[in-house]
Each structure stands twice: as structure tokens, then as C-alpha cells.
Structure 1
């Protein structure tokens, strides 16, 4: 079939998503399809959507991964890959996602939200409850842009006051947990869910920041993660519970840290990176599926969506 690969856009992650789009296009060609890149930052890009048989979403971040693009495709009646509006929106707004986790009894770290205009009293209330060191990040951003470890009130105020290209009006802060990030992808094959092997991302920087994520010399992947079987099983079951709680579809990746009390879920990524050097590809290879098969299952998800997907 002829597939529109959607990527780009005004998000801080828009430029990087073009790499995912290129990888997806190559896999689609290997599977016998033709495709065209549709940059969602181009004026009137939606006029091209009615000329494709399916939309393969490879965009990351704002306007591509947050439910807005999914809603447009729903209204246009264009089959599209991955989760729908609800799961996409939940995955993008970290505080709301964590509220869902708490409501479903899925362990996560305690947190507070702070706006850039937060008063000293609001900051003191959050830091007194959570303690230091803290990890602060924009409430609706990915790739660890404008995120960092803060050890004092002054450092937190400085981060909130930053005015970089990826700064946000709302931040989420939570206790900083040392250790490596753990992640697991979940795929859908018709009505069957396929959990991929858990991957451990080892950063050569202080934490798994934007630089270490983008530079293969600054990280390494261990997949399957060298963890006890009971920890792997716990992470897998928690991911499946979060999938159901958020009405996911097609593919989603869930990130964890290993705290003293066990695995705690951090985030949900409804459009994982698709490059052959990325963590989803590493999990796909470790599972024996390979990235081409993952891309094929993602394309199939455009056509096995429920009649109404919230």
C-alpha cells in the first residue's frame, strides 16, 4: 500500500523524528510498500493525508505524540498507527499519567508540579515534602530536554527560570534515583500483546540526558537487561497494566527506574524512536522479531483499531 510517514513539526523533538521517519520508510519498503514523508510543520500538510492509504506516525513530542495529530486523523478518517487520542495525551502530560498510575496501584515516584512563576512558598512546600536531590523536567517534553538534577532550592529556581529553546511553563519534580533507566516495549498483534525484552540503558553521563541519548558513544544498551527474573516479570506485568489503564494500541514503550522498593514507572512513550540504533530496535532484535516485523505490526495497528478508540 501507499503510506504517509508523518514526522517533523514544531516540537523540540521534531528534527530528530525525521530519523525515525527515514528508518520507518526503509522498513516499509522492505515490506513491499511505498511511502512519502509528510512533514507536519508544512502549511496545509493535511491535504496530503487523504491521498494515502494509511498514516504511519513517526513524529515525536508536541503535535505528533500528544493526541492532536491522532484527533485530526480520526476526523479525516485516515487509518493511523499507534495509540489513539487518550493514550497519546496521557503519555505526553507526565503529571496526569502519574495520577493514572496511582489510581491503578502502579508504583511510581512521588512528585510535585511547579510552574515557572512558582512562588518561594510553593517551591518550599514541594522540596520539604520530596527532599533533595530532585530530578526536574518539563511536564510535557521528551528526550530529557531542559531536564536535570537539582540539589538546592537555588538550582531548582534557576532551572525553572531558564529560557532555553525547549523550556516549559510547567515542570514536574520527583526524587532523584541513582541507577540506569529500564525500558520495555509492548506490541500488539491482532488481539495479542507482545512484551519485548526489558532493556537497560547505561549512560556515561551523570544521567540519561539528551546528549547521551543522541550520542551512541555516550550510552550502551544491555538487552535483555541483566536483572533477576522476578524483577523482569514485575516490570512486564506493570507495563501490561499501564497499557490497559491508558487504552494503548499498536505499540507503546514504558520507562522505569529500580528504586529500593522495586521497579517504579516513570513515563510512557506512545511513539518510540524507530532508528536501528534506538532502544526499540534493540529490544526487537533481542526478541527475535527484528525491526522490520515491528514496523509491520505497527502498520497493521492502523487497521485493527476498535471502532471507537478514545
Structure 2
């Protein structure tokens, strides 16, 4: 088939997505397909997309994994990989995702919304409610851009007032916990939802920030994570449940931390990074499945979609 690999675009994460697109394209060609990069920053890129058999979404962040691109492809009638409009938008918008987890009884950290430029009074109310230190991150952004640890009201105010090229207006605050990130990729294979091995990401920075994520010398992966069997099984069960509750399709990744020995869900990533150095590739290798098989499953999701997908 002729596959358009969609990457780039106006997202702050757009440039990084070209690395995912390159690796996915290589795998698709090895699987016998014709794969070409389509940069979503191109004028009227959607007219070009309609000439392909399917769109393989490799873009990250705004306008790629938040439901907007998925809605465009639905209207154009172009088969596309991964989750639909609803699951993508829920996964991208952290307050909505957190509310869904609470409604479903899935353990997540307490949190509070806060806006850029919040008053000292509002910040004080949040820190009084949640305590300090807190981890503050944009409501709709990835790669830990604009995120950070705040240990005082002054830190909080400074983070929210910092000038940034990303210009997020909406943030959430959660208690900061000393724990490595645990993550599980979940795959939908012929209608069956299956978790991959749990991966533990150890950051050499203060937290697993964008620098640590992008620089292999600043992180270490352990996969399978050295956890007791009962905890591994519990995390995998929760990952499958989050995938199902959100209505994800194809492949997604669910992130966790341990709080007092219990897994708490952080977020779901409906378009995981696809580089060979990334955690999805590490989990695929640890499972014995391999990277190419994951790419094949992602492509198949474009054609297994119901005639109407919310």
C-alpha cells in the first residue's frame, strides 16, 4: 500500500516527531509498503493525504494526537492509524482524563487546575489543598514541556509566569512524589487488547523531563521493570483498563508512578514515540514481538476501525 506518514506540523513537539516518522517509514518499507513523509506544516497537506491508501500518524502533541487531525481524516474518508477523535482528545486533555479516571474508580493523584498568570490567592489555595512540593504541567502538552517541580508559592508563580514559545494557558498541579516513571504499552490485536512488559524509566535529572527523555545518556530503561509479580500484573491490568475506558485503538501507552507502594495512573499517550531508542521499542523487544510487528499492528488499526468511530 501507499502510506502517508504524518509528522511535523505546528505543535511544539512537531520537530521531534520526524524521528518517529523516519523509523516508522523504514519499518513500513521493510514490511513491503510504499511509505512517504507528509509534513503537516505543508500548505493544504490534506489534499495530498487523500491520494494515499492510509495515513500513519507519527506526529506528536497539538494538532496531531489531540483529535483534531483524526477529525480531519474522518471527514476526508482517509483510513488512519490509532485512536479516534474522542479517545485522542480525552487522552491529550489531562483534566478531562483525570476526571474520567476518578469517575471510573481508577487510582490517580489528586490534582487541581490552574491557569497561566494565576493570582497569588489562587496559587495559595492550590498549595493549601494539595500541599508542597507539587508537580505542575500543561493541561494539553507532552514531553514535559513547561512542566516543573514547585516547592513554594513563589516557585509556582514563577513557573506560571515564565515566558515560553509554547504558551500553554491551562495547567494542572499534582503532588510531587519521589518515584520513577513506569509505563506500559497496550496493543489491540485482532480485537484483543494486550499489554506489553512494564518498563521503568530512570531519569538522571531531577525528574523525567524533556531533556532526559530525548538524551539517552540522561535516562536508563529497565524492561521488564524489576517489580514483584503481583505489582507487574496489577499495572498491566490497569493499563488495559485505561486503554479500554478511553476507547483507544491500535497502540497506546499508559504511564504510572508508585505512591505508597500503589500504582497511580498519570496519563495515556495515544501516539507513543516510535524511535528505536524509545520506550515503546524497548517494550516490544522485551516482549519478543519486535518493533516491526508493533508498526504492523498500528497500520492494521487503520482498517479495523468501525464505520463510525466517536
Return 238-247 or 103-112, whichever deviates more: 238-247
Distance, in Å, in 1 between the alignment partners of 2:221 and 2:260 is 22
TM-aligned CA deviation for residue 121 of structure 1 = 2.0
Is the counterpart of residue 225 in structure 1 residue 213 in structure 2? no
Q: Contact 1:93–1:140 (CA<8 Å) still a contact in 2?
A: yes
TM-aligned CA deviation for residue 167 of structure 1 = 3.5
Equivalent residue for 1:87?
87
* Alignment size in residue pairs: 310
| Backbone CA RMSD of aligned residues | 0.8
TM-aligned CA deviation for residue 305 of structure 1 = 0.9
TM-aligned CA deviation for residue 270 of structure 1 = 0.3
Equivalent residue for 1:252?
252
Is the counterpart of residue 291 in structure 1 residue 294 in structure 2? no
Equivalent residue for 2:271?
271
Distance, in Å, in 1 between the alignment partners of 2:96 and 2:119 is 22
Superposed CA offset, 1:121-168 (max 9, x none):
221111101000000011110000111110000000000001111231
Structure 1 consecutive aligned stretches of length 4 or more whose deviation exceeds 2 Å: none
Distance, in Å, in 2 between the alignment partners of 1:251 and 1:282 is 14
Distance, in Å, in 2 between the alignment partners of 1:28 and 1:304 is 18
Distance, in Å, in 2 between the alignment partners of 1:56 and 1:28 is 10
Distance, in Å, in 1 between the alignment partners of 2:212 and 2:273 is 15
Equivalent residue for 2:133?
133
TM-aligned CA deviation for residue 233 of structure 1 = 1.0
Gaps of 5+ in 1: none
Return 59-68 or 122-131, whichever deviates more: 122-131
TM-aligned CA deviation for residue 237 of structure 1 = 1.0
Equivalent residue for 2:62?
62
Q: Contact 1:5–1:25 (CA<8 Å) still a contact in 2?
A: yes
Q: Secondary structure at the match of 1:127?
A: helix
Q: Contact 2:194–2:240 (CA<8 Å) still a contact in 1?
A: no
Distance, in Å, in 1 between the alignment partners of 2:308 and 2:246 is 15
Superposed CA offset, 1:210-264 (max 9, x none):
1100000000100000001111111111111111111111111000001105000
Equivalent residue for 2:180?
180
Gaps of 5+ in 2: none
Distance, in Å, in 1 between the alignment partners of 2:101 and 2:303 is 29
TM-aligned CA deviation for residue 193 of structure 1 = 1.2
Q: Secondary structure at the match of 2:236?
A: helix
TM-score of the two chains, using structure 1 as the length reference: 0.99
TM-aligned CA deviation for residue 98 of structure 1 = 0.4
Q: Equivalent residues in 2 for 1:1-310 (5 A)?
A: 1-260=1-260, 262-310=262-310
Distance, in Å, in 2 between the alignment partners of 1:294 and 1:166 is 31
Q: Contact 1:66–1:91 (CA<8 Å) still a contact in 2?
A: yes
Q: Contact 2:59–2:65 (CA<8 Å) still a contact in 1?
A: yes
TM-score of the two chains, using structure 2 as the length reference: 0.99
Q: Contact 1:8–1:39 (CA<8 Å) still a contact in 2?
A: yes
Q: Contact 1:138–1:167 (CA<8 Å) still a contact in 2?
A: no
